[in-house]
Structure 1
Protein backbone atom coordinates (compact mmCIF):
# COMPACT_ATOMS: atom_id res chain seq x y z
CA UNK A 1 0.00 0.00 0.00
CA UNK A 2 1.66 3.20 -1.17
CA UNK A 3 1.98 5.97 1.37
CA UNK A 4 1.51 9.63 0.59
CA UNK A 5 2.99 12.82 1.94
CA UNK A 6 0.92 14.85 4.35
CA UNK A 7 0.26 18.53 5.07
CA UNK A 8 -0.91 19.99 8.38
CA UNK A 9 -3.52 22.68 7.70
CA UNK A 10 -3.87 25.14 10.59
CA UNK A 11 -4.44 28.60 9.05
CA UNK A 12 -7.30 30.04 6.96
CA UNK A 13 -4.79 30.66 4.15
CA UNK A 14 -3.84 26.98 4.14
CA UNK A 15 -7.53 25.99 4.12
CA UNK A 16 -8.11 28.22 1.08
CA UNK A 17 -5.18 26.60 -0.70
CA UNK A 18 -6.43 23.11 0.18
CA UNK A 19 -9.88 23.92 -1.22
CA UNK A 20 -8.36 25.02 -4.51
CA UNK A 21 -6.87 21.52 -4.83
CA UNK A 22 -9.92 19.54 -3.72
CA UNK A 23 -11.63 17.86 -6.71
CA UNK A 24 -15.31 18.47 -7.35
CA UNK A 25 -15.66 16.47 -10.56
CA UNK A 26 -18.03 13.49 -10.60
CA UNK A 27 -16.09 10.27 -11.22
CA UNK A 28 -16.79 6.55 -10.89
CA UNK A 29 -14.08 6.25 -8.23
CA UNK A 30 -14.40 8.43 -5.10
CA UNK A 31 -11.53 10.85 -4.59
CA UNK A 32 -12.24 12.19 -1.07
CA UNK A 33 -11.72 10.04 2.03
CA UNK A 34 -12.05 11.41 5.57
CA UNK A 35 -11.50 10.42 9.18
CA UNK A 36 -12.11 12.53 12.30
CA UNK A 37 -10.49 12.57 15.73
CA UNK A 38 -11.53 14.30 18.91
CA UNK A 39 -12.31 14.06 22.60
CA UNK A 40 -15.71 12.36 22.89
CA UNK A 41 -16.42 12.67 19.15
CA UNK A 42 -20.12 13.53 19.13
CA UNK A 43 -22.53 16.43 19.77
CA UNK A 44 -21.42 16.57 23.43
CA UNK A 45 -17.68 16.52 22.69
CA UNK A 46 -15.31 18.14 20.24
CA UNK A 47 -13.55 17.68 16.92
CA UNK A 48 -9.79 18.07 17.06
CA UNK A 49 -8.65 16.88 13.64
CA UNK A 50 -10.14 16.01 10.27
CA UNK A 51 -7.87 13.88 8.13
CA UNK A 52 -8.51 14.18 4.40
CA UNK A 53 -6.98 11.89 1.79
CA UNK A 54 -7.34 13.06 -1.82
CA UNK A 55 -6.67 10.07 -4.07
CA UNK A 56 -6.28 12.05 -7.30
CA UNK A 57 -3.10 13.75 -6.05
CA UNK A 58 -2.51 11.56 -3.88
CA UNK A 59 -1.96 13.49 -0.67
CA UNK A 60 -3.13 13.52 2.93
CA UNK A 61 -4.19 16.73 4.67
CA UNK A 62 -4.78 17.08 8.40
CA UNK A 63 -7.27 19.87 9.06
CA UNK A 64 -6.60 21.35 12.51
CA UNK A 65 -10.21 21.93 13.58
CA UNK A 66 -9.15 22.52 17.19
CA UNK A 67 -7.11 25.56 16.14
CA UNK A 68 -9.24 26.79 13.23
CA UNK A 69 -12.69 26.35 14.76
CA UNK A 70 -15.54 27.43 12.47
CA UNK A 71 -13.12 28.81 9.87
CA UNK A 72 -12.10 25.25 9.00
CA UNK A 73 -15.48 24.91 7.34
CA UNK A 74 -16.33 28.48 6.25
CA UNK A 75 -13.07 29.73 4.72
CA UNK A 76 -13.59 30.15 0.93
CA UNK A 77 -11.43 28.61 -1.77
CA UNK A 78 -8.75 30.70 -3.48
CA UNK A 79 -10.35 30.09 -6.88
CA UNK A 80 -14.05 30.03 -5.99
CA UNK A 81 -15.44 32.20 -3.17
CA UNK A 82 -18.59 30.06 -3.04
CA UNK A 83 -16.64 26.90 -2.25
CA UNK A 84 -15.89 26.07 1.38
CA UNK A 85 -15.16 22.79 3.09
CA UNK A 86 -18.76 22.84 4.31
CA UNK A 87 -20.14 23.13 0.76
CA UNK A 88 -17.90 20.29 -0.44
CA UNK A 89 -19.01 17.98 2.37
CA UNK A 90 -22.66 18.87 1.77
CA UNK A 91 -22.56 18.61 -2.04
CA UNK A 92 -24.85 15.69 -3.12
CA UNK A 93 -22.74 14.91 -6.21
CA UNK A 94 -19.47 14.44 -4.28
CA UNK A 95 -19.08 11.05 -2.54
CA UNK A 96 -17.31 11.29 0.82
CA UNK A 97 -15.82 7.97 1.92
CA UNK A 98 -15.44 7.21 5.62
CA UNK A 99 -15.66 4.34 8.09
CA UNK A 100 -18.75 4.69 10.31
CA UNK A 101 -20.33 8.08 9.67
CA UNK A 102 -22.42 8.17 12.85
CA UNK A 103 -20.14 9.94 15.35
CA UNK A 104 -18.54 12.08 12.63
CA UNK A 105 -21.84 13.42 11.35
CA UNK A 106 -23.22 13.91 14.87
CA UNK A 107 -20.25 16.10 15.80
CA UNK A 108 -20.12 17.97 12.49
CA UNK A 109 -23.86 18.72 12.50
CA UNK A 110 -24.18 19.91 16.09
CA UNK A 111 -20.84 21.64 16.50
CA UNK A 112 -20.34 23.17 13.03
CA UNK A 113 -23.74 22.93 11.27
CA UNK A 114 -22.31 20.58 8.64
CA UNK A 115 -24.17 17.52 7.35
CA UNK A 116 -22.38 15.29 4.86
CA UNK A 117 -24.74 14.61 2.00
CA UNK A 118 -23.26 11.81 -0.13
CA UNK A 119 -21.75 9.25 2.24
CA UNK A 120 -19.94 6.03 1.37
CA UNK A 121 -19.81 4.21 4.71
CA UNK A 122 -17.25 1.41 4.47
CA UNK A 123 -18.37 -0.12 7.75
CA UNK A 124 -21.66 -1.00 6.05
CA UNK A 125 -19.79 -2.23 2.97
CA UNK A 126 -17.74 -4.57 5.16
CA UNK A 127 -20.66 -6.16 6.96
CA UNK A 128 -22.67 -6.42 3.72
CA UNK A 129 -19.90 -8.26 1.84
CA UNK A 130 -18.93 -10.45 4.79
CA UNK A 131 -19.29 -14.22 4.25
CA UNK A 132 -19.72 -15.04 7.95
CA UNK A 133 -22.36 -13.95 10.49
CA UNK A 134 -23.58 -10.37 10.18
CA UNK A 135 -24.48 -9.77 13.81
CA UNK A 136 -21.79 -7.34 14.98
CA UNK A 137 -20.05 -4.46 13.28
CA UNK A 138 -16.27 -4.32 12.95
CA UNK A 139 -14.17 -1.27 13.73
CA UNK A 140 -11.64 0.07 11.25
CA UNK A 141 -8.63 -1.54 12.95
CA UNK A 142 -10.21 -4.98 12.99
CA UNK A 143 -11.33 -4.63 9.38
CA UNK A 144 -7.83 -3.64 8.32
CA UNK A 145 -6.35 -6.66 10.10
CA UNK A 146 -8.84 -9.06 8.52
CA UNK A 147 -8.62 -7.91 4.92
CA UNK A 148 -5.18 -6.34 4.59
CA UNK A 149 -2.72 -7.96 2.19
CA UNK A 150 0.21 -5.96 3.50
CA UNK A 151 3.63 -7.62 3.50
CA UNK A 152 4.50 -8.94 6.96
CA UNK A 153 7.03 -6.19 7.75
CA UNK A 154 4.64 -3.41 6.72
CA UNK A 155 1.76 -5.04 8.63
CA UNK A 156 3.90 -5.16 11.77
CA UNK A 157 4.86 -1.51 11.32
CA UNK A 158 1.18 -0.57 10.98
CA UNK A 159 0.26 -2.54 14.10
CA UNK A 160 3.07 -0.95 16.15
CA UNK A 161 2.03 2.51 15.04
CA UNK A 162 -1.57 1.87 16.07
CA UNK A 163 -0.50 0.50 19.45
CA UNK A 164 1.78 3.47 20.22
CA UNK A 165 -0.99 5.92 19.39
CA UNK A 166 -3.64 3.97 21.28
CA UNK A 167 -1.47 3.91 24.40
CA UNK A 168 -1.45 7.73 24.51
CA UNK A 169 -5.25 7.71 24.22
CA UNK A 170 -6.09 4.94 26.69
CA UNK A 171 -7.09 6.38 30.12
CA UNK A 172 -6.28 3.01 31.73
CA UNK A 173 -2.67 3.49 30.63
CA UNK A 174 -2.44 7.13 31.63
CA UNK A 175 -3.58 8.43 28.26
CA UNK A 176 -6.26 10.95 27.33
CA UNK A 177 -8.15 11.82 24.15
CA UNK A 178 -7.26 15.47 24.79
CA UNK A 179 -3.85 14.58 23.36
CA UNK A 180 -5.44 15.24 19.94
CA UNK A 181 -5.36 18.92 20.96
CA UNK A 182 -1.66 19.02 21.82
CA UNK A 183 0.39 21.27 19.54
CA UNK A 184 2.71 20.32 18.09
CA UNK A 185 0.90 17.04 17.60
CA UNK A 186 2.94 14.14 19.07
CA UNK A 187 4.48 12.01 16.33
CA UNK A 188 2.79 8.89 17.69
CA UNK A 189 -0.62 10.57 17.37
CA UNK A 190 0.19 11.97 13.93
CA UNK A 191 1.14 8.49 12.70
CA UNK A 192 -2.00 7.05 14.32
CA UNK A 193 -4.20 9.55 12.45
CA UNK A 194 -2.45 9.07 9.11
CA UNK A 195 -2.68 5.27 9.34
CA UNK A 196 -6.46 5.40 9.72
CA UNK A 197 -7.33 7.59 6.75
CA UNK A 198 -4.84 5.83 4.49
CA UNK A 199 -6.68 2.53 4.88
CA UNK A 200 -9.85 3.86 3.29
CA UNK A 201 -9.00 3.96 -0.47
CA UNK A 202 -7.93 0.34 -0.74
CA UNK A 203 -10.79 -0.79 1.51
CA UNK A 204 -13.26 0.96 -0.81
CA UNK A 205 -11.74 -0.75 -3.82
CA UNK A 206 -11.78 -4.16 -2.14
CA UNK A 207 -15.36 -4.02 -0.87
CA UNK A 208 -16.72 -2.34 -3.98
CA UNK A 209 -15.35 -5.14 -6.15
CA UNK A 210 -17.03 -7.72 -3.91
CA UNK A 211 -20.28 -5.78 -3.90
CA UNK A 212 -20.38 -5.72 -7.71
CA UNK A 213 -20.56 -9.54 -7.70
CA UNK A 214 -23.38 -9.68 -5.17
CA UNK A 215 -27.15 -9.57 -5.37
CA UNK A 216 -27.81 -5.95 -6.31
CA UNK A 217 -30.45 -5.60 -3.61
CA UNK A 218 -27.50 -5.17 -1.25
CA UNK A 219 -26.76 -1.76 -2.76
CA UNK A 220 -30.28 -0.61 -1.94
CA UNK A 221 -29.93 -1.93 1.62
CA UNK A 222 -26.62 -0.13 2.09
CA UNK A 223 -28.09 3.13 0.78
CA UNK A 224 -31.11 2.84 3.08
CA UNK A 225 -28.96 2.18 6.15
CA UNK A 226 -26.52 4.94 5.19
CA UNK A 227 -29.34 7.48 5.02
CA UNK A 228 -30.62 6.22 8.38
CA UNK A 229 -27.17 6.81 9.87
CA UNK A 230 -26.98 10.32 8.43
CA UNK A 231 -30.39 11.13 9.93
CA UNK A 232 -29.31 10.08 13.44
CA UNK A 233 -27.75 13.48 14.05
CA UNK A 234 -31.24 15.02 14.00
CA UNK A 235 -32.62 12.68 16.63
CA UNK A 236 -32.79 13.71 20.29
CA UNK A 237 -31.53 10.35 21.58
CA UNK A 238 -28.64 8.43 20.02
CA UNK A 239 -27.97 4.85 21.06
CA UNK A 240 -24.70 4.08 22.80
CA UNK A 241 -22.74 1.05 23.97
CA UNK A 242 -23.44 -2.44 22.66
CA UNK A 243 -26.47 -1.32 20.66
CA UNK A 244 -24.15 0.71 18.39
CA UNK A 245 -22.06 -2.40 17.77
CA UNK A 246 -24.97 -4.33 16.27
CA UNK A 247 -25.20 -4.61 12.50
CA UNK A 248 -28.41 -3.27 10.93
CA UNK A 249 -31.32 -5.67 11.37
CA UNK A 250 -31.98 -5.65 7.62
CA UNK A 251 -28.43 -6.91 7.03
CA UNK A 252 -28.80 -9.71 9.57
CA UNK A 253 -32.03 -10.95 8.01
CA UNK A 254 -30.94 -10.81 4.37
CA UNK A 255 -29.84 -14.07 2.64
CA UNK A 256 -26.07 -14.47 2.75
CA UNK A 257 -25.50 -15.71 -0.79
CA UNK A 258 -23.20 -13.64 -2.98
CA UNK A 259 -24.83 -14.14 -6.36
CA UNK A 260 -25.46 -11.26 -8.69
CA UNK A 261 -28.95 -11.09 -10.19
CA UNK A 262 -28.90 -11.51 -13.96
Structure 2
Protein backbone atom coordinates (compact mmCIF):
# COMPACT_ATOMS: atom_id res chain seq x y z
CA UNK A 1 0.00 0.00 0.00
CA UNK A 2 1.36 3.43 -0.92
CA UNK A 3 2.17 6.06 1.68
CA UNK A 4 -0.71 8.14 0.26
CA UNK A 5 -3.26 5.33 0.81
CA UNK A 6 -1.95 4.63 4.33
CA UNK A 7 -2.28 8.32 5.18
CA UNK A 8 -5.80 8.47 3.72
CA UNK A 9 -6.87 5.32 5.62
CA UNK A 10 -5.49 6.72 8.87
CA UNK A 11 -7.46 9.94 8.38
CA UNK A 12 -10.69 8.01 7.77
CA UNK A 13 -10.16 5.90 10.91
CA UNK A 14 -9.53 9.01 13.00
CA UNK A 15 -12.69 10.65 11.67
CA UNK A 16 -14.76 7.53 12.40
CA UNK A 17 -13.33 7.37 15.92
CA UNK A 18 -14.27 11.02 16.50
CA UNK A 19 -17.84 10.39 15.30
CA UNK A 20 -18.10 7.35 17.56
CA UNK A 21 -17.07 9.37 20.61
CA UNK A 22 -19.57 12.08 19.71
CA UNK A 23 -22.33 9.49 19.41
CA UNK A 24 -21.53 8.15 22.89
CA UNK A 25 -21.34 11.58 24.49
CA UNK A 26 -24.12 11.78 27.12
CA UNK A 27 -25.27 15.28 26.23
CA UNK A 28 -28.98 15.17 25.40
CA UNK A 29 -30.57 18.01 23.52
CA UNK A 30 -32.25 20.33 26.04
CA UNK A 31 -36.01 20.67 25.97
CA UNK A 32 -37.19 23.58 23.89
CA UNK A 33 -40.17 25.77 24.74
CA UNK A 34 -41.31 25.57 21.12
CA UNK A 35 -41.27 21.75 21.20
CA UNK A 36 -44.58 19.98 20.67
CA UNK A 37 -44.01 18.25 24.02
CA UNK A 38 -43.38 21.43 26.05
CA UNK A 39 -45.52 24.55 26.31
CA UNK A 40 -44.39 27.67 28.17
CA UNK A 41 -47.47 29.61 29.29
CA UNK A 42 -46.82 33.29 29.93
CA UNK A 43 -50.03 34.95 28.65
CA UNK A 44 -53.72 34.69 29.53
CA UNK A 45 -54.65 33.24 26.11
CA UNK A 46 -52.09 30.47 26.61
CA UNK A 47 -53.56 29.70 30.04
CA UNK A 48 -57.01 29.44 28.41
CA UNK A 49 -55.58 27.09 25.78
CA UNK A 50 -54.13 24.92 28.54
CA UNK A 51 -57.44 24.78 30.43
CA UNK A 52 -59.24 23.77 27.25
CA UNK A 53 -56.70 21.00 26.60
CA UNK A 54 -57.33 19.34 30.00
CA UNK A 55 -61.09 19.92 30.11
CA UNK A 56 -62.08 16.39 29.04
CA UNK A 57 -59.18 14.34 30.44
CA UNK A 58 -58.83 15.59 34.00
CA UNK A 59 -61.69 13.50 35.45
CA UNK A 60 -60.21 10.09 34.61
CA UNK A 61 -59.92 7.46 37.35
CA UNK A 62 -56.14 7.34 36.91
CA UNK A 63 -54.43 10.70 37.59
CA UNK A 64 -53.80 12.74 34.45
CA UNK A 65 -52.04 15.70 36.06
CA UNK A 66 -48.57 15.49 37.61
CA UNK A 67 -47.47 18.74 39.23
CA UNK A 68 -44.39 20.38 40.70
CA UNK A 69 -43.41 23.94 41.61
CA UNK A 70 -40.13 25.85 41.43
CA UNK A 71 -39.41 29.17 43.07
CA UNK A 72 -37.38 31.16 45.55
CA UNK A 73 -37.78 29.80 49.09
CA UNK A 74 -41.17 28.10 48.61
CA UNK A 75 -42.86 29.54 51.68
CA UNK A 76 -44.88 32.54 52.79
CA UNK A 77 -41.61 34.51 52.74
CA UNK A 78 -40.55 33.46 49.25
CA UNK A 79 -42.18 33.35 45.84
CA UNK A 80 -43.41 30.95 43.17
CA UNK A 81 -41.68 31.16 39.78
CA UNK A 82 -42.98 28.24 37.73
CA UNK A 83 -45.74 25.67 38.10
CA UNK A 84 -45.10 22.57 36.01
CA UNK A 85 -47.91 20.26 34.92
CA UNK A 86 -47.33 17.05 32.99
CA UNK A 87 -50.54 15.95 31.27
CA UNK A 88 -50.07 12.22 30.91
CA UNK A 89 -52.77 11.36 28.32
CA UNK A 90 -51.24 13.77 25.79
CA UNK A 91 -47.61 13.32 26.85
CA UNK A 92 -47.01 17.04 27.17
CA UNK A 93 -45.49 19.29 29.86
CA UNK A 94 -46.88 22.76 30.53
CA UNK A 95 -44.80 25.35 32.39
CA UNK A 96 -46.98 28.14 33.80
CA UNK A 97 -45.03 31.36 34.25
CA UNK A 98 -46.27 32.38 37.71
CA UNK A 99 -43.50 34.98 38.04
CA UNK A 100 -44.97 36.87 35.06
CA UNK A 101 -48.68 36.08 35.35
CA UNK A 102 -49.04 36.05 39.14
CA UNK A 103 -52.73 35.55 40.12
CA UNK A 104 -53.82 35.64 36.46
CA UNK A 105 -52.35 32.14 36.07
CA UNK A 106 -54.84 30.84 38.63
CA UNK A 107 -57.90 33.04 38.02
CA UNK A 108 -58.09 33.22 34.20
CA UNK A 109 -61.17 31.18 33.18
CA UNK A 110 -61.57 28.79 30.29
CA UNK A 111 -64.66 28.64 28.09
CA UNK A 112 -66.68 26.86 30.78
CA UNK A 113 -65.54 29.14 33.58
CA UNK A 114 -62.99 26.69 34.95
CA UNK A 115 -59.82 28.22 36.32
CA UNK A 116 -56.54 26.62 37.36
CA UNK A 117 -57.45 27.48 40.96
CA UNK A 118 -60.64 25.41 40.60
CA UNK A 119 -58.67 22.53 39.10
CA UNK A 120 -56.17 22.58 41.96
CA UNK A 121 -58.94 22.76 44.57
CA UNK A 122 -61.13 20.04 43.02
CA UNK A 123 -61.57 16.77 44.88
CA UNK A 124 -62.80 15.10 41.70
CA UNK A 125 -59.67 15.87 39.65
CA UNK A 126 -56.80 13.68 40.83
CA UNK A 127 -53.44 15.41 40.97
CA UNK A 128 -50.06 13.88 41.81
CA UNK A 129 -47.35 15.81 43.69
CA UNK A 130 -44.14 14.50 45.22
CA UNK A 131 -44.05 15.73 48.83
CA UNK A 132 -46.84 18.26 48.47
CA UNK A 133 -46.09 20.14 51.70
CA UNK A 134 -43.92 23.07 50.60
CA UNK A 135 -45.80 23.49 47.32
CA UNK A 136 -49.09 23.56 49.21
CA UNK A 137 -47.70 26.02 51.74
CA UNK A 138 -46.58 28.45 49.03
CA UNK A 139 -49.81 28.19 47.01
CA UNK A 140 -51.93 28.79 50.11
CA UNK A 141 -49.80 31.64 51.45
CA UNK A 142 -49.54 33.60 48.19
CA UNK A 143 -52.72 32.76 46.30
CA UNK A 144 -55.14 31.31 48.86
CA UNK A 145 -55.25 27.96 47.08
CA UNK A 146 -56.35 24.99 49.20
CA UNK A 147 -55.18 21.92 47.31
CA UNK A 148 -57.55 18.95 47.09
CA UNK A 149 -57.66 15.65 45.23
CA UNK A 150 -53.97 15.17 45.99
CA UNK A 151 -52.10 11.86 45.79
CA UNK A 152 -48.66 12.38 47.29
CA UNK A 153 -46.23 10.12 45.40
CA UNK A 154 -43.70 10.23 48.24
CA UNK A 155 -46.30 8.57 50.47
CA UNK A 156 -47.16 6.05 47.76
CA UNK A 157 -43.49 5.03 47.54
CA UNK A 158 -43.39 4.70 51.32
CA UNK A 159 -46.47 2.52 51.63
CA UNK A 160 -45.35 0.17 48.85
CA UNK A 161 -41.76 -0.13 50.09
CA UNK A 162 -40.63 -3.57 51.30
CA UNK A 163 -37.79 -2.43 53.59
CA UNK A 164 -37.33 0.03 56.50
CA UNK A 165 -40.10 2.64 56.57
CA UNK A 166 -38.78 5.05 59.19
CA UNK A 167 -37.93 7.79 56.69
CA UNK A 168 -39.42 9.06 53.45
CA UNK A 169 -37.34 9.10 50.27
CA UNK A 170 -36.45 11.99 47.95
CA UNK A 171 -37.55 12.10 44.32
CA UNK A 172 -34.01 11.74 43.00
CA UNK A 173 -33.49 8.43 44.78
CA UNK A 174 -36.88 7.18 43.63
CA UNK A 175 -35.99 7.91 40.01
CA UNK A 176 -32.52 6.43 40.39
CA UNK A 177 -33.66 3.18 42.01
CA UNK A 178 -37.23 2.60 40.87
CA UNK A 179 -37.88 4.23 37.50
CA UNK A 180 -38.09 1.52 34.78
CA UNK A 181 -35.73 3.27 32.36
CA UNK A 182 -32.58 2.33 30.46
CA UNK A 183 -29.11 3.15 31.69
CA UNK A 184 -28.82 5.76 28.93
CA UNK A 185 -32.10 7.40 29.99
CA UNK A 186 -30.93 7.42 33.60
CA UNK A 187 -27.62 9.00 32.57
CA UNK A 188 -29.46 11.66 30.54
CA UNK A 189 -31.72 12.41 33.50
CA UNK A 190 -28.76 12.68 35.87
CA UNK A 191 -26.87 14.99 33.51
CA UNK A 192 -29.87 17.28 32.97
CA UNK A 193 -30.50 17.40 36.72
CA UNK A 194 -26.88 18.35 37.40
CA UNK A 195 -26.89 21.06 34.71
CA UNK A 196 -29.99 22.58 36.27
CA UNK A 197 -28.61 22.42 39.80
CA UNK A 198 -25.46 24.27 38.76
CA UNK A 199 -27.65 27.21 37.80
CA UNK A 200 -30.02 27.39 40.78
CA UNK A 201 -28.48 25.58 43.77
CA UNK A 202 -26.39 27.92 46.00
CA UNK A 203 -24.16 25.01 47.09
CA UNK A 204 -23.28 24.55 43.40
CA UNK A 205 -22.66 28.25 42.80
CA UNK A 206 -26.15 28.96 41.46
CA UNK A 207 -29.03 31.22 42.51
CA UNK A 208 -32.72 30.38 42.81
CA UNK A 209 -33.46 33.69 41.07
CA UNK A 210 -32.55 31.95 37.80
CA UNK A 211 -36.11 30.58 37.79
CA UNK A 212 -37.26 34.17 37.19
CA UNK A 213 -35.00 34.78 34.19
CA UNK A 214 -36.84 35.28 30.91
CA UNK A 215 -36.37 33.67 28.54
CA UNK A 216 -35.96 30.67 30.80
CA UNK A 217 -32.50 29.09 30.36
CA UNK A 218 -32.73 25.85 28.41
CA UNK A 219 -31.06 23.82 31.18
CA UNK A 220 -33.64 25.12 33.67
CA UNK A 221 -36.48 24.38 31.28
CA UNK A 222 -35.20 20.82 30.87
CA UNK A 223 -34.86 20.47 34.64
CA UNK A 224 -38.44 21.63 35.20
CA UNK A 225 -39.89 19.30 32.59
CA UNK A 226 -38.20 16.04 33.41
CA UNK A 227 -39.22 15.70 37.06
CA UNK A 228 -42.96 15.97 36.37
CA UNK A 229 -42.58 13.51 33.49
CA UNK A 230 -40.94 11.04 35.87
CA UNK A 231 -43.79 11.43 38.36
CA UNK A 232 -46.06 9.70 35.85
CA UNK A 233 -43.51 6.92 35.29
CA UNK A 234 -43.10 6.32 39.02
CA UNK A 235 -46.85 6.42 39.63
CA UNK A 236 -47.32 3.41 37.37
CA UNK A 237 -44.42 1.58 39.03
CA UNK A 238 -45.79 2.03 42.55
CA UNK A 239 -49.49 1.83 41.70
CA UNK A 240 -49.10 -1.78 40.60
CA UNK A 241 -48.28 -2.60 44.24
CA UNK A 242 -51.18 -0.69 45.81
CA UNK A 243 -54.20 -2.15 47.59
CA UNK A 244 -57.48 -0.40 48.40
CA UNK A 245 -56.41 -0.01 52.02
CA UNK A 246 -53.10 1.57 51.00
CA UNK A 247 -54.82 3.94 48.57
CA UNK A 248 -57.17 5.15 51.29
CA UNK A 249 -54.23 5.70 53.65
CA UNK A 250 -52.35 7.73 51.01
CA UNK A 251 -55.40 9.94 50.39
CA UNK A 252 -55.87 10.57 54.12
CA UNK A 253 -52.20 11.35 54.72
CA UNK A 254 -52.04 13.58 51.63
CA UNK A 255 -54.91 15.63 53.08
CA UNK A 256 -53.08 15.78 56.42
CA UNK A 257 -49.97 17.11 54.69
CA UNK A 258 -51.97 19.83 52.95
CA UNK A 259 -53.69 20.84 56.19
CA UNK A 260 -50.38 20.86 58.06
CA UNK A 261 -48.84 23.14 55.44
CA UNK A 262 -51.50 25.78 56.22
CA UNK A 263 -50.70 26.06 59.92
CA UNK A 264 -48.75 29.10 61.21
CA UNK A 265 -46.13 26.84 62.81
CA UNK A 266 -45.34 24.92 59.60
CA UNK A 267 -41.58 24.70 58.97
CA UNK A 268 -40.74 23.79 55.40
CA UNK A 269 -37.13 23.06 56.27
CA UNK A 270 -37.69 21.12 59.49
CA UNK A 271 -35.71 17.92 59.97
CA UNK A 272 -38.89 16.12 60.99
CA UNK A 273 -40.04 16.28 57.37
CA UNK A 274 -37.79 13.30 56.65
CA UNK A 275 -39.72 11.08 59.07
CA UNK A 276 -42.55 8.83 57.95
CA UNK A 277 -46.01 9.73 59.35
CA UNK A 278 -46.58 8.54 62.91
CA UNK A 279 -49.83 6.85 61.95
CA UNK A 280 -48.10 4.86 59.24
CA UNK A 281 -50.15 1.94 57.92
Q: Same fold (TM over 0.5)?
A: yes
Residue of structure 1 in register with 2:216 after alignment: 185
Deviates more, 1:60-69 or 1:219-228: 219-228
Q: Give the superposition deviation at 1:221.
A: 2.4
State the 1:204 CA deviation: 1.1
Q: Larger radius of gyration, structure 1 or 2?
A: 2
Residue 4 of structure 2 corresponds to none
Per-residue CA distance 1:134-188 (angstroms, 9 max, x = gap) = 1111111111111022111111111000011111122123211111001111111
Does 2:263 align with 1:231? no
- Does residue 1:21 correspond to 2:50, yes or no? no
For residues 191-211 of structure 1, give each alpha carbon's deviation from its aligned partner in whole angstroms, at most 9, with x where no partner exists. Answer: 111111100111111111111
Question: Is the partner of 2:261 in helix, strand or coil?
Answer: helix
TM-score, normalised with respect to structure 2: 0.83
Aligned residues: 245
Question: How many Å apart are 1:6 and its aligned residue?
Answer: 0.3
Residue 75 (structure 1) aligned to one of 108, 118, 124: 108
SS at match of 2:240: helix
Q: Which residue of 2 aligns with 1:110?
A: 141
The structure 1 residue matched to 2:173, chosen from 142, 156, 178, is: 142
Correspondence for 2:75 among 32, 39, 42: 42
Could you state the TM-score of these two structures normalised by the residue count of structure 1? 0.89
Q: Report the secondary structure of 1:8's partner residue.
A: strand
Q: Is the 8 A contact 1:170 1:176 kept in 2?
A: yes
Cα distance in 2 for partners of 1:168, 1:241 equals: 25
Q: Shift of the alpha carbon at 1:217?
A: 3.2
Whether contact under 8 Å (2:179, 2:237) holds in the other structure is no
Question: Which consecutive segments of 4 or more residues in structure 1 shift more than 4 A?
Answer: none
Unaligned runs of 5+ in 1: 255-262
Measured against aligned partners, the alpha-carbon deviations of 1:22-63 in whole angstroms (never above 9, x if no partner) come to 135532211111111001012221110001111122211100
**Residue 11 (1) aligns with residue 39 (2):** no
Shift of 1:234: 2.5
1:242 aligns with one of 248, 253, 271: 271
Give the corresponding residue for 2:192. 161
Name the stretch that deviates more: 233-242 or 112-121: 233-242
Q: Which moved more, 1:219-228 or 1:56-65?
A: 219-228
